[in-house]
A and B are shown apart, each in its own frame.
Chain A
Amino acid sequence: MTQRTKWVISLATSLLFCMAFSWTQVFAAGLLTPKDGSLPALAIRDHTVKVVVEDGYAITSVEQVFHNPHDRDLEAVYSCPVPEHAAVAEFTMWINGKPVTGEVFEKKEARRIYEEEKAAGRDAGLTEKDHYKTFDISVSPVRAGQDTRIRLVYLQPAHVDTGIGRYVYPLEDGGVDEEKLAFWTANDEITGHFRFDMRIRSSYPVDAVRLPNHPGAQINRDANGDWVIHLSNNAGASATHAKPQNPDLAPIPRSAPPSAQSDATPTAQTVGDGRASASFRLDQDIVLYWRHQEGLPGSVEMVAHKEAGSDRGTFMLTLTPGDDLQPITGGRDWIFVLDISGSMRGKYATLTDGVQRALKKMRPDDRFRIVLFNDEAHELTSGFVTANEHNVSTWCDKVAQVTPSSSTNLFAGLKMGLRGLDADRTGAIVLVTDGVANVGETAQRKFIQLLEKRDIRLFTFIMGNSANVPLLEAITKASNGFALSISNADDIVGKLLLAMDKVSHEALHGVKLDIEGIKVADLTPRTIGSLYRGQQLVIFGHYWKAGETTVRLSGKVAGESKTYQTRFNFPSASALNPEIERLWAYATIEDMQAEIEDFGEAADLKQGITDVALEYSLVTDYTSMLVMSEEQFTQRGVQRRNRTRRELETTAQAQRAVQPAKSTRVDSSKPMFTSPRPSFGGGGGALDLWYGLLLAPLAALRLTGQNKNRHRS
């Protein structure tokens, strides 16, 4: 056997092993059943998702029907990953055929009432948040042989980065909660209908929409110019093979890892109503991108909510800076700190793919080091290595050969990454992890102190769902870097280009936003940090009265002060976007939560979060949403605060839906930024084979000498 043959066999064996291994490690959203078999499994009959993205935020509504095929009443426990910055606005359960909207209680109180209702055999439902990991929905009872229908609605900001918007419907479990995984098994199969419908309403022209891992999705535009996306197991069974009505248009080549592509084809079967359908598994995120047209202006948008006669209003300001950050041209040092702990198993193929592509994009004057960590850290390279073709290829292979295992000592990994920095060269740490630090130092403050010792930026790639996003975002912000979330269903090349684009340009550091002219307060985030090329700045806050204001954005680029300014009016009344209040409240809660992570669970912060969550009816670590029958709500004297708020929100949503998307830009007359927005990548284009064929006859003439009768001019 030749050396080459041995190498091929070894590679194939490794790949097969990795694939087989990662297959066994697929975790997903689904109905939980104890692994010990003490309770029989329920079924998810239908799963319907409706998403509307407009005015800078997304509203996601998930409706599910659980089915109990057994001859005794059972409790259903559904668990799904927490979507990024998602504020649960509604939990509804159909009781006796009528929808009943839930109300928010303190967590322990909600659990107590739920258990009481459950013990009494009455219908009840509970949505709880398990820190940054999962939303857990308990429903009791699902009656023997019957269905139970529930709906969860959540709001989240929907930003655009470098002209590309991204929405993720998270389904793939991060696999980071080992205790939970040891106890429960998740039934992620939908036996009936799966539907995913999304509508993108934008006053700025969107010229492409792309679902990298769902090529069968139907993508259309309606008469209002809204983008309408549809995915279902009925249509999907054929759509997987059919040509989409609108082809992929985004410039990012498709490169999802094999593990993520494997579940794209549903398996056909017949469902209860006799129609041919296909079962669908909730084990793969649905990632969707939309791309804004090139050359749009840098801008300031404002969405406000202020009821007529009310003294106080709430606003969301979105600043999209123009492209005036210069490229960085010198060679740089990159330290890759890679998580190889056991929880990375299902994501490691994506990690190696991303790292390989990143290394291949380096310039010859760049250098890199690779540090790996699980329960301890070790350096794969021995010091910095020049990013030439041979080194890149060699180290890429070595990274790919690693098998993830053990726990996660993130602190040790970062500490080793910070060693041996060259003070004469610009350096950056690229941290790739699912961010569940569970060994060694785990306190957020210690991480921040570690990074504050060195002047180095941390760029964090957060892999998968259920990652410890609060910790990772906090330490990244402390280093003035940026964090990007990556799903297994993401377009890795696209994410990589996005990151490379940011690190290859100067950034605006120490960013401050001043609003003068009217009274504003409760701004969140309290500290902004840095703004990288393509990033939007989103600020929530309260304002009093109305009138013209001066808004000033300032910061430093390469040590030099930079200020942008504009003037516009805050409205005296605006009722079309009541959701802004909850988005403000949730952003405020996240700020307080970050403080708790940083300095410990101070009683006043915990109370602060609880108060805000109760006022705005939000599910947090300290509050849960409970549904019980209307009679029980009345009997227990529960104020229907959330029901009232939801009615206000749904009325506004219905009003918006019948109108074309309106521009929320407020700086048109006095633009804050003079340059257009940055866009994704650059342009080029080459001559091609077709040109070659065109020129062939001319070349033939020339070669045969018939074309020598030339005159020069």
Chain B
Amino acid sequence: MASKTSNNHNIELNGHPIHRSAPWLTLTMSALALLLYLGAGPAAPALIFDRVAVTHGQWWRLVTGHLIHCDLSHLGWDVAGLLILGWLFEDRFSRARFLTVMASGMLAVNAWLWWGQAPLRYCGLSGLLNTLLAAGLIQQWRNSRSGLAVAVGFAASLKIALECLHDQALFTATAWPSVPQAHAAGLWAGIVISLVWWNQLLFSTFREKVDNYRP
């Protein structure tokens, strides 16, 4: 993948300039979650993921469900988590890729909500945050072979596995019970999307090398 640094803040990625002094996408998502909570209230009935309503054609819930929160504590932890993760990882991705990470998280969590043994109603950003965490850590490891990234990734996976085993969150108590399986789905989405990109990169590097050796 052709990317080059033109200065400290301006980066080109596949010919598209990247300039970010702040994690704008993260800030936008956080603001959106906050505004939806203030405007529509906790667990807004018209916006949460509600399986029945989706079957009646209310498709927006597949997106808005992830931005709605059931209480202040839920909102607080998720938005704080998003801000930290965005600050750490957003500038590791192009805008398109950052949005792809989030979209893949949504897809995975929704798929689990639809086909898994899931609650009929769901809300919150936490599934997507786990996607961002996984993709960010893998990206960091790819860049720096950081052992810390591996350790953090391992610890996060262990925590989610334990929570799935006990079917409840270990450290949080929100108005709606925690769904650790959604976190696991999100985490897997982050791993899968990173592997897809990595394979694409390896394939393109391989093609590049083959082309270079072509007489």
With contacts A294-B117, A323-B120, A325-B52 taken as known, whether A686 is within 8 angstroms of B152 at the C-beta atoms is: no
Q: Which of B132-173 contact A (CB under 8 A)?
A: 133, 139-140, 142-144, 148-149, 152, 155-156, 159, 169-173
Task: Answer yes or no: A701 CB below 8 A from chain B CBs.
Answer: yes
Contact with A along B53-95 (1 / 0, CB 8 A): 1011000000000000110011011101100110110011110
Q: Helix, strand, loop or mixed for chain A's interface?
A: loop
Shortest distance in angstroms between B166's beta carbon and chain A's nearest beta carbon? 10
Residue ID in chain B nearest A253 by CB atoms: B173
Contact of A691 among B11, B44, B51, B156 (CB under 8 A): B156
Shortest distance in angstroms between B113's beta carbon and chain A's nearest beta carbon? 8
Contact with A along B84-113 (1 / 0, CB 8 A): 110110011110010000000000000000
Task: Answer yes or no: B191 CB below 8 A from chain A CBs.
Answer: no
Shortest distance in angstroms between B152's beta carbon and chain A's nearest beta carbon? 5
Contact of A690 among B48, B170, B173, B180 (CB under 8 A): B170
Task: Answer yes or no: B43 CB below 8 A from chain A CBs.
Answer: yes
B178 CB contacts on chain A under 8 angstroms: 683-686
Task: Answer yes or no: A402 CB below 8 A from chain B CBs.
Answer: no
A676 CB contacts on chain B under 8 angstroms: 120
Whether B121 lies near A681 (C-beta < 8 A) is yes
Whether A698 lies near B53 (C-beta < 8 A) is no
Q: Which of A269-300 contact B (CB under 8 A)?
A: 293-295
Residue ID in chain B nearest A675 by CB atoms: B52
Whether A695 lies near B84 (C-beta < 8 A) is yes
Contact of B1 among A685, A697, A707, A713 (CB under 8 A): A713
Contact with B along A660-682 (1 / 0, CB 8 A): 00000000000000011011011
Whether B177 lies near A686 (C-beta < 8 A) is no
A695 CB contacts on chain B under 8 angstroms: 84-85, 88, 152
Whether B92 lies near A713 (C-beta < 8 A) is yes
Whether B120 lies near A688 (C-beta < 8 A) is no
Task: Answer yes or no: B203 CB below 8 A from chain A CBs.
Answer: no
Whether B70 lies near A713 (C-beta < 8 A) is no
Contact of A713 among B49, B77, B80, B94 (CB under 8 A): B94
Cα distance A695–B152 in the bound complex, in angstroms: 7
With contacts A323-B51, A326-B52, A691-B81 taken as known, whether A683 is within 8 angstroms of B118 at the C-beta atoms is: yes
Cα distance A270–B154 in the bound complex, in angstroms: 56
Whether A685 lies near B173 (C-beta < 8 A) is no
Shortest distance in angstroms between B63's beta carbon and chain A's nearest beta carbon? 16
Shortest distance in angstroms between A705's beta carbon and chain B's nearest beta carbon? 12
Contact with B along A684-711 (1 / 0, CB 8 A): 1111111110110111011000010111
Contact with A along B116-127 (1 / 0, CB 8 A): 011111111010
Residue ID in chain A nearest B178 by CB atoms: A685
Whether B177 lies near A681 (C-beta < 8 A) is yes
A547 CB contacts on chain B under 8 angstroms: none
Q: How large is the interface on A (under 10, 10 to 19, 20 to 34, 35 or more residues)?
A: 35 or more
Whether A712 lies near B91 (C-beta < 8 A) is yes
With contacts A363-B41, A694-B152 taken as known, whether A686 is within 8 angstroms of B92 at the C-beta atoms is: no
Cα distance A576–B175 in the bound complex, in angstroms: 43
Cα distance A293–B49 in the bound complex, in angstroms: 20
Residue ID in chain B nearest A365 by CB atoms: B41
Task: Answer yes or no: B32 CB below 8 A from chain A CBs.
Answer: no
With contacts A294-B119, A710-B92, A711-B143 taken as known, whether A683 is within 8 angstroms of B179 at the C-beta atoms is: yes
Whether B129 lies near A684 (C-beta < 8 A) is no
Whether B171 lies near A689 (C-beta < 8 A) is yes
Contact of A712 among B94, B121, B148, B172 (CB under 8 A): B94
Whether B118 lies near A697 (C-beta < 8 A) is no
Cα distance A711–B126 in the bound complex, in angstroms: 26
Shortest distance in angstroms between A82's beta carbon and chain B's nearest beta carbon? 35
Whether A683 lies near B152 (C-beta < 8 A) is no
Whether B123 lies near A682 (C-beta < 8 A) is yes
Residue ID in chain A nearest B51 by CB atoms: A323
B52 CB contacts on chain A under 8 angstroms: 323-327, 675
B46 CB contacts on chain A under 8 angstroms: 327, 329
Whether B74 lies near A684 (C-beta < 8 A) is yes
Task: Answer yes or no: A265 CB below 8 A from chain B CBs.
Answer: no
Task: Answer yes or no: B13 CB below 8 A from chain A CBs.
Answer: yes
Shortest distance in angstroms between A624's beta carbon and chain B's nearest beta carbon? 47
With contacts A695-B85, A695-B152, A713-B94 taken as known, whether A684 is within 8 angstroms of B70 at the C-beta atoms is: yes
Whether B126 lies near A687 (C-beta < 8 A) is yes
Task: Answer yes or no: B182 CB below 8 A from chain A CBs.
Answer: yes
Task: Answer yes or no: B206 CB below 8 A from chain A CBs.
Answer: no
Whether A709 lies near B144 (C-beta < 8 A) is yes
Whether B91 lies near A710 (C-beta < 8 A) is yes
Cα distance A5–B170 in the bound complex, in angstroms: 38
Whether B120 lies near A686 (C-beta < 8 A) is no
Shortest distance in angstroms between A531's beta carbon and chain B's nearest beta carbon? 15
Residue ID in chain A nearest B144 by CB atoms: A709
Task: Answer yes or no: B201 CB below 8 A from chain A CBs.
Answer: yes
With contacts A686-B126, A710-B92 taken as known, whether A699 is within 8 angstroms of B84 at the C-beta atoms is: yes
Task: Answer yes or no: B18 CB below 8 A from chain A CBs.
Answer: yes
Shortest distance in angstroms between A526's beta carbon and chain B's nearest beta carbon? 30
Whether A682 lies near B121 (C-beta < 8 A) is yes
Task: Answer yes or no: B176 CB below 8 A from chain A CBs.
Answer: yes
Task: Answer yes or no: A383 CB below 8 A from chain B CBs.
Answer: no
Whether B124 lies near A694 (C-beta < 8 A) is no
Task: Answer yes or no: A504 CB below 8 A from chain B CBs.
Answer: yes
Task: Answer yes or no: A364 CB below 8 A from chain B CBs.
Answer: yes
Cα distance A314–B170 in the bound complex, in angstroms: 49
Whether B77 lies near A687 (C-beta < 8 A) is yes
Contact of B156 among A324, A326, A694 (CB under 8 A): A694
Shortest distance in angstroms between B180's beta carbon and chain A's nearest beta carbon? 7
Task: Answer yes or no: B205 CB below 8 A from chain A CBs.
Answer: no
Residue ID in chain A nearest B139 by CB atoms: A713
| Interface residues in chain B, defined as those with a beta carbon under 8 Å from any beta carbon in chain A | 1, 3, 11, 13, 18, 40-41, 43-46, 48-53, 55-56, 69-70, 73-74, 76-78, 80-81, 84-85, 87-88, 91-94, 97, 117-124, 126, 129, 133, 139-140, 142-144, 148-149, 152, 155-156, 159, 169-180, 182-183, 197, 201
The 9 closest A-B pairs by CB, nearest first: A682-B121, A687-B81, A685-B178, A683-B179, A686-B77, A683-B119, A329-B46, A684-B176, A251-B177
| Interface residues in chain A, defined as those with a beta carbon under 8 Å from any beta carbon in chain B | 251, 253, 293-295, 323-329, 363-364, 504, 675-676, 678-679, 681-692, 694-695, 697-699, 701-702, 707, 709-713
**14 contacts across the A-B interface (CB closer than 8 A):** A323-B52, A675-B52, A676-B120, A681-B121, A682-B123, A683-B122, A684-B124, A685-B172, A686-B169, A699-B88, A702-B88, A709-B143, A710-B91, A713-B3
Told that A675-B55, A686-B178 touch, could you supply 8 new A-B pairs with CB distance under 8 A? A294-B117, A294-B118, A682-B121, A684-B176, A688-B172, A697-B152, A699-B84, A709-B144
